[in-house]
């Protein structure tokens, strides 16, 4: 395989190690050894030794959520997610991506998103149209929320309106490149999509990304892959926390008890864990659940839901078990993926809310 020397070292270090097997949300959901980092690296070591064809590991590669729980857990500092990203690129370059990945790539080409959707709900369209004028701040909804979490994206716009800030929402919002980077890694096509977006984003001083996955590519991949963007990118959660601190959102503390479902893109990839707690503690009491902050557990990924919905359902159900075991009353999400999958599996007796919903309620 044409992968980096570092990835080869990771494969050789992980293939006989069991230390992070217990924290993989996919492995825990499926109960299958093949889903943890060690087994995936063992399979790749066979490809490296030409005992297995690359195509034989393709499904296994796409079963990894790239959530970095294993990377965070690794006391010796190895990063199996780096390997997964490089092997995705290798599969794409060799034309060996699985059929379901090809379908999603076709959808991106035809419709601009992996879901192949073209219609945005009327309410979001109308809310966005009110902010078509150019300002210094661009609010990026992102493909996931635009096509799957319309009501929440509209509420996020309402919250920014309540803060009295001037912001722009683009009718033809460019693709941040998150979907391409998840599917084929650092391919030239991914970088081209990112560069196009960065050119548009650079016309603003600040870009606020509603979706943690989009924030992660803007704040990490753009830098790592030399995609020039002059605007300052901020996560929606951090931006809302700032609006509260600056007194632009006058929240009143109530008696409700909130628990954060930390997005792994924010907590691990960007090491951002406190803004959600600042927001929730301004609105009520904060209680923590098992596996919080950088130890958070994935609660769902909508791209993976396109090709392994049963596993995504179990991943969300597992996270609900964590929440129930800690007597959570209101679970609060930062990510549209996690909101949608948790919402579809929500047990009785616990509420599910988004950050914007919590703040709108406590104004
Ligand atoms: S990431 Fe670290 S803990 Fe996990 S299998 Fe590799 S070496 Fe072991
Ligand atoms: S990145 Fe997440 S899903 Fe992938 S092997 Fe590591 S813990 Fe499992």
> Domain with 237 in it: what CATH number?
3.40.50
Number of domains in the chain: 3
Residue 112 lies in a domain: no
Residue 11 main-chain phi, psi, to 5 deg: -55, -45
Q: Based on the domain organization, do 229 and 275 belong to the same domain?
A: no
- Enter the pTM of the model: 0.97
Q: Which of 308, 349, 335 is nearest to 104 (CA)?
A: 308
Nearest CA to ligand 2 atom 4: 64
234 and 208 in contact (C-beta within 8 Å)? Answer: yes
Is the same domain home to 290 and 233?
no
Report if residue 28 sits inside a domain: yes
Tokens of 27: 């492995």
> Which of 198, 217, 241 is where one domain is finished?
241
Region of 177 on the Ramachandran plot (φ > 0 left; ψ -120 to 50 alpha; else beta): left
Q: How far is CA 41 from CA 8, 11, 56, 71, in A?
A: 9, 5, 13, 13
Shared-domain flag, residues 236 and 264 = no
Q: Which of the ligands is closest to the CA of residue 18?
A: 1
Question: Are 149 and 217 members of one domain?
Answer: yes
* Ligand number nearest to the C-alpha of 70: 2
Are 199 and 233 in the same domain?
yes
Query: 99, 66, 104, 96: which is closest to 1 by C-alpha?
Result: 96
- The residues lining ligand 2, judged by C-beta closer than 6 Å to any ligand atom, are 23-26, 36-37, 64-70, 80-81
Q: Are 179 and 283 members of one domain?
A: no
The two three-digit tokens of residue 79, written as one number: 């990063």
Give me the residues paired with residue 332 across strands: 260, 353
Is residue 105 in a domain?
Answer: no
Both 131 and 216 in one domain: the answer is: yes
Residue 163 near residue 248 (C-beta atoms within 8 A): yes
Best residue among 32, 62, 65 to mutate for probing ligand 2's pocket (most ligand atoms within 8 Å of CB) is 65
Give the residue from 187, 214, 241 where a domain finishes.
241
Pick the atom of ligand 2 nearest to 40's CA. 5
Q: Using only C-alpha atoms, what is the Rg of the chain?
A: 20
Asked, for residue 101, whether it belongs to a domain, the answer is no
Report whether 231 contacts 138 (CB < 8 A): yes
DSSP type of residue 177: S
Tally the residues of the chain: 363
**Domain span at residue 221?**
122-241
206 and 129 together in one domain: yes
pLDDT by position in tens, the chain (length 363):
999 999 999 999 999 898 999 999 999 999 999 999 999 999 999 999 999 999 999 999 999 999 999 999 999 999 999 999 999 999 999 999 999 999 999 999 999 999 999 999 999 999 999 999 999 999 999 999 999 999 999 999 999 999 999 999 998 999 999 999 999 999 999 999 999 999 999 999 999 999 999 999 999 999 999 999 999 999 999 999 999 999 999 999 999 999 999 999 999 999 999 999 999 999 999 999 999 999 999 999 999 999 999 999 999 999 999 999 999 999 999 999 999 999 999 999 999 999 999 999 999
- Which of 180, 211, 241 lies at the terminal end of a domain, its last residue? 241
């Amino acid at each position: 395989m044409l992968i980096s020397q570092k990835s080869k070292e990771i494969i050789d270090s992980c293939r006989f190690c069991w230390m992070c097997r217990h924290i993989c949300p996919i492995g825990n959901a499926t109960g299958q050894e093949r889903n943890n980092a060690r087994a995936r690296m063992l399979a790749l070591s066979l490809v490296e030794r030409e005992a297995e064809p690359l195509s034989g590991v393709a499904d296994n590669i796409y079963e990894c959520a790239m959530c970095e729980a294993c990377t965070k857990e690794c006391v010796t500092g190895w990063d199996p997610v780096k390997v997964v990203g490089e092997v995705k690129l290798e599969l794409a370059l060799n034309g060996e991506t699985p059929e379901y990945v090809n379908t999603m790539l076709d959808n991106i080409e035809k419709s601009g998103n992996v879901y192949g959707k073209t219609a945005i709900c009327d309410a979001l369209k109308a809310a966005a149209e009110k902010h078509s004028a150019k300002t210094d701040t661009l609010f990026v909804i992102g493909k996931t929320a635009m096509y799957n979490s319309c009501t929440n994206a509209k509420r996020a716009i309402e919250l920014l309106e309540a803060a009295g800030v001037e912001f722009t929402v683009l009718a033809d919002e460019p693709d941040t490149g998150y979907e391409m980077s998840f599917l084929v890694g650092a391919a030239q096509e991914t970088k081209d999509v990112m560069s196009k977006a960065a050119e548009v984003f650079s016309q603003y001083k600040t870009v606020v990304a509603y979706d943690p996955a989009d924030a992660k590519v803007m704040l990490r991949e753009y830098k790592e892959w030399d995609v020039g963007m002059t605007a300052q990118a901020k996560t929606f959660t951090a931006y809302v926390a700032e609006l509260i601190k600056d007194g632009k959102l006058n929240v009143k503390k109530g008696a409700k008890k909130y628990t954060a479902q930390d997005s792994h893109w924010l907590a691990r990839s960007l090491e951002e864990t406190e803004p959600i707690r600042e927001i929730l503690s301004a609105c009520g009491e904060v209680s923590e659940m098992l596996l919080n902050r950088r130890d958070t557990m994935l609660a769902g990924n909508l791209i993976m839901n396109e090709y392994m919905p049963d596993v995504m359902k179990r991943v969300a159900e597992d996270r609900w078990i964590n929440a129930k075991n800690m007597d959570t009353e209101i679970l609060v999400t930062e990510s549209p993926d996690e909101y949608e999958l948790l919402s579809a599996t929500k047990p009785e007796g616990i509420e599910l809310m988004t950050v914007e919903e919590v703040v709108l309620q406590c104004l």
